[in-house]
């Protein structure tokens, strides 16, 4: 099949001299330094973006602070919800444009950009829109003794924290950006986003659509650049909360910086080395399609996806053979060709990182299937199954964030739990079984923020998401995000 036609509007957007999006409009960057955005399938530069300086960041945060105090504060909760819903309508309307921008800079299969990234962006926006009218405090009855017949009552109110810094990774820039926008705007906060330097364009385009949706200028600002730009943002005294999604080392640095910056609130959504456990009763043929989809979607570059398969000894050979067969059938190629099932890795540094792990596995003779870097143009590697030498093997311990999965046999539940939990990470895990009694006994003992049964890598806005251990601090979605984006004010009244 041939590649999808790049829309004229996308070509025009790519050709722009992008600056930042501040106070409701595109503004030229303070400095001259540019970053090239590379299509990972072709290695061609598709556009360039600006590097945000301290001056750029200051301008954006000032605008967000003004909007927080005036325009957004004067917008009723109902209106905030209406505007977020209007933005969701526009994301749907311009969905193909946004999907193409994502695919051209991340290598995500076009159908994943359309039906996962853009479609879920809409779902999350509508979910957050619904919360705008439902953020309330409580009333209390104090127990203070009354000497002269006086009485007391008390209530709490939830107030927005203020300007939020949203720092976003490259794997699902649009959707993860919207997790932060939706949480901030529905609670009455405003936001300055710092998208990844590899995949910046979809959020720049979304900021334009927000103005079209009637969201006042300054409520959503986007400053582009690398880590240094994010660093300036966190240092700003007007930033009252940092919402970060990315790697553990960056998360730790950001957490320390936020604490040093007068205890700026911070939530961290970080990496994982997630486990999928296939128990003795699992029917391999039945579970395989869902398990493989969850594992290799977007070439395994999904924080929640499994990188360690634990297989009951009785099913190990059957499982390994069938998974190897299935992944060899995945058609690898251009992400713009709708018939392909597996695209490139998203950027060169990440390709080099995954290649390093594949080299290590080759040196130690650990490849079960796959393991090759594709010759020619683009950052393509094969989906790969590995056997690890033990729980201290770097391939068992370190997050590859790629399509590289360990296959590890186990005999008893105790052995399974010990190996699953032998990790500094604790983001997600899954059990594949119809033995409900066993699953319910294992779930509390698994050290992970999310546990799925007969599914994996499914995020739903109504279900809280976040990590334990080094996988993060805080929860997104459901009503859990409200705690992070609002402060509780207690009011007591004597009458």
As annotated, the active-site residues are: 269, 303
Which residue of 77, 137, 227, 394 would you call a contact of ligand NAD, by CB under 6 A? 227
The region of 64-72, 224-232, 335-343, 363-371 touching ligand NAD under the rule CB under 6 A is 224-232
Q: Please, which residues have CB within 8 angstroms of residue 430's CB and are 6 or more apart in sequence?
A: 274, 275, 276, 277, 294, 306, 451, 452, 453, 454, 455, 456
Which residue of 269, 382, 393, 406 would you call a contact of ligand NAD, by CB under 6 A? 269
Q: Which is nearer to ligand NAD, 287 or 406 (CB)?
A: 406
Which residue of 46, 185, 303, 305 would you call a contact of ligand NAD, by CB under 6 A? 303
Q: How far is the CB of 264 from ligand NAD (least distance, A)?
A: 12
Report the alpha-carbon distance of residue 333 to residue 170 in Å, rounded: 20
Q: How far is the CB of 180 from ligand NAD (least distance, A)?
A: 11
Q: Using CB under 6 A, which residues numbered 472 to 491 contact ligand NAD? A: 472
Q: Are 119 and 175 spatial neighbours (Cβ–Cβ below 8 Å)?
A: no
Report the alpha-carbon distance of residue 34 to residue 44 in Å, rounded: 16
Nearest to 242 by CA among 227, 254, 228: 254
Q: Does 254 bind ligand NAD (CB under 6 A)?
A: yes
Which residue of 226, 355, 438, 469 would you call a contact of ligand NAD, by CB under 6 A? 226
Q: How far is the CB of 242 from ligand NAD (least distance, A)?
A: 8
Q: How far is the CB of 323 from ligand NAD (least distance, A)?
A: 22
Q: Using CB under 6 A, which residues numbered 380 to 419 contact ligand NAD? A: 399, 401
DSSP 387-410: --SSTTSHHHHS---SSEEEEEEE
Q: Does 166 bind ligand NAD (CB under 6 A)?
A: no
| Kind plus residue range of the DSSP H or E element containing 64 | helix 54-69
Q: Which is nearer to ligand NAD, 211 or 253 (CB)?
A: 253
Q: How far is CA 458 from CA 178, 290, 306, 323, 452, in A?
A: 17, 11, 12, 21, 8
Q: How far is the CB of 185 from ligand NAD (least distance, A)?
A: 19
Which residue of 247, 261, 324, 364 would you call a contact of ligand NAD, by CB under 6 A? 247
Where b means 16+ CB within 10 Å and e means fewer, 127-166 reads: bbbebbeebebeeeeeeeeeeeeeeeeeeeebebbbbbbb
The region of 85-93, 247-255, 326-334, 337-345 touching ligand NAD under the rule CB under 6 A is 247-255
Q: Does 117 bind ligand NAD (CB under 6 A)?
A: no
Q: Where are the beta strands (DSSP E) in 195-235?
A: 220-222
Between 281 and 300, how does the x/- string for binding to ligand NAD read (CB under 6 A)? Answer: --------------------
Q: How far is the CB of 428 from ligand NAD (least distance, A)?
A: 9
Q: Does 63 bind ligand NAD (CB under 6 A)?
A: no
Q: Does 104 bind ligand NAD (CB under 6 A)?
A: no
The region of 26-34, 112-120, 268-276, 433-441 touching ligand NAD under the rule CB under 6 A is 268-276
Report the alpha-carbon distance of residue 178 to residue 362 in Å, rounded: 39
The region of 80-88, 90-98, 263-271, 287-295 touching ligand NAD under the rule CB under 6 A is 263-271
Q: Does 253 bind ligand NAD (CB under 6 A)?
A: yes
Report the alpha-carbon distance of residue 390 to residue 412 in Å, rounded: 17
Which residue has the CB atom at the shortest distance from ligand NAD? Answer: 230
Strand bridging mode 274-278 / 306-312: parallel
Which residue of 40, 160, 188, 230 would you call a contact of ligand NAD, by CB under 6 A? 230
Q: Does 170 bind ligand NAD (CB under 6 A)?
A: yes
Q: Which is nearer to ligand NAD, 80 or 180 (CB)?
A: 180
Q: What is the DSSP letter of 379?
A: -
Q: How far is the CB of 85 from ligand NAD (least distance, A)?
A: 24
Q: Does 353 bind ligand NAD (CB under 6 A)?
A: no
Nearest to 105 by CA among 181, 163, 24, 172: 172
The region of 41-49, 216-224, 267-275, 328-336 touching ligand NAD under the rule CB under 6 A is 267-275
Q: Using CB under 6 A, which residues numbered 186 to 215 contact ligand NAD? A: 194, 196-197
Report the alpha-carbon distance of residue 361 to residue 407 in Å, rounded: 13
Q: Does 102 bind ligand NAD (CB under 6 A)?
A: no
Q: Please, which residues have CB within 8 angstroms of residue 164's CB and are 6 or more apart in sequence?
A: 180, 183, 184, 189, 190, 191, 192, 239, 240, 241, 242, 243, 485
Q: Where are the beta strands (DSSP E) in 184-342?
A: 190-194, 220-222, 239-245, 265-269, 274-278, 306-312
Burial class (CB in 10 A: 0-12, 13-18, 19+), 324: middle
Q: Which is nearer to ligand NAD, 81 or 472 (CB)?
A: 472
Q: Does 245 bind ligand NAD (CB under 6 A)?
A: yes
| Total chain residues near ligand NAD (CB under 6 A) | 28
Tokens of 105: 């800079």
Q: Does 420 bind ligand NAD (CB under 6 A)?
A: no
Report the alpha-carbon distance of residue 170 to residue 220 in Å, rounded: 19
Q: How far is the CB of 299 from ligand NAD (least distance, A)?
A: 13
Nearest to 122 by CA among 146, 143, 98: 98
Report the alpha-carbon distance of residue 42 to residue 337 in Å, rounded: 13
Which residues bind to ligand NAD, rule: CB under 6 A? Answer: 167-171, 194, 196-197, 226-227, 230-231, 245-247, 250, 253-254, 269-272, 303, 399, 401, 427, 467, 472
């Amino acid at each position: 099949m041939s590649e999808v036609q790049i829309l004229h509007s996308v070509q025009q957007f790519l050709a722009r001299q992008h600056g930042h999006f501040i106070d409701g409009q595109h503004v030229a960057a303070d400095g001259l330094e540019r970053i090239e955005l590379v299509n990972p399938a072709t290695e061609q530069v598709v556009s360039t973006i600006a590097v945000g300086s301290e001056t750029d960041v200051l301008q954006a945060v000032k605008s967000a602070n003004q909007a927080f105090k005036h325009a957004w504060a004067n917008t009723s909760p109902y209106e905030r919800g209406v505007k977020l819903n209007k933005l969701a309508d526009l994301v749907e309307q311009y969905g193909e444009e946004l999907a193409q921008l994502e695919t051209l800079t991340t290598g995500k299969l076009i159908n994943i950009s359309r039906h996962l990234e853009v479609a879920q962006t809409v779902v999350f926006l509508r979910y957050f829109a619904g919360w705008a009218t439902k953020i309330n405090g409580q009333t209390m009855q104090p127990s203070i003794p009354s000497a002269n017949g006086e009485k007391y009552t008390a209530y709490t109110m939830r107030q927005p924290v203020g300007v939020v810094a949203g720092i976003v990774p490259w794997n699902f820039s649009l959707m993860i950006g919207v997790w932060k926008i939706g949480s901030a705007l529905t609670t009455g906060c405003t936001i300055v986003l710092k998208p990844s330097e590899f995949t910046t364009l979809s959020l720049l385009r979304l900021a334009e659509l927000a103005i079209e949706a009637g969201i006042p200028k300054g409520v959503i600002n986007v400053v582009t650049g690398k880590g240094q730009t994010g660093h300036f943002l966190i240092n700003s005294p007007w930033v009252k909360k940092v919402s970060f999604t990315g790697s553990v080392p960056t998360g730790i640095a950001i957490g320390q910086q936020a604490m040093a910056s007068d205890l700026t609130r911070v939530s961290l959504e970080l990496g994982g080395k997630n486990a999928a456990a296939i128990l003795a009763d699992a029917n391999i043929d039945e579970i395989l399609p869902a398990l493989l989809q969850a594992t290799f979607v977007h070439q395994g570059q999904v924080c929640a996806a499994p990188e360690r398969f634990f297989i009951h000894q009785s099913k190990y050979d059957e499982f390994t053979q069938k998974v190897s067969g299935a992944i060899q059938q995945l058609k690898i190629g251009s992400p713009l060709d709708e018939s392909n099932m597996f695209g490139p890795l998203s950027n060169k540094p990440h390709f080099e990182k995954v290649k390093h792990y594949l080299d290590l596995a080759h040196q130690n003779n650990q490849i079960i299937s796959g393991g090759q870097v594709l010759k020619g143009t683009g950052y393509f590697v094969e989906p790969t199954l590995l056997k690890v030498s033990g729980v201290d093997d770097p391939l068992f311990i370190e997050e590859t964030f790629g399509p590289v999965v360990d296959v590890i046999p186990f005999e008893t539940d105790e052995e399974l739990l010990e190996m699953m939990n032998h990790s500094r990470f604790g983001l997600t895990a899954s059990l594949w079984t119809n033995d409900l009694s066993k699953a319910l006994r294992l779930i509390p003992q698994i050290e992970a923020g999310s546990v799925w049964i007969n599914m994996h890598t499914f995020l739903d806005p109504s279900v809280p998401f976040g990590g334990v251990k080094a996988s993060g601090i805080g929860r997104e979605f459901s009503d859990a995000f409200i705690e992070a984006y609002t402060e509780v004010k207690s009011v007591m009244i004597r009458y």
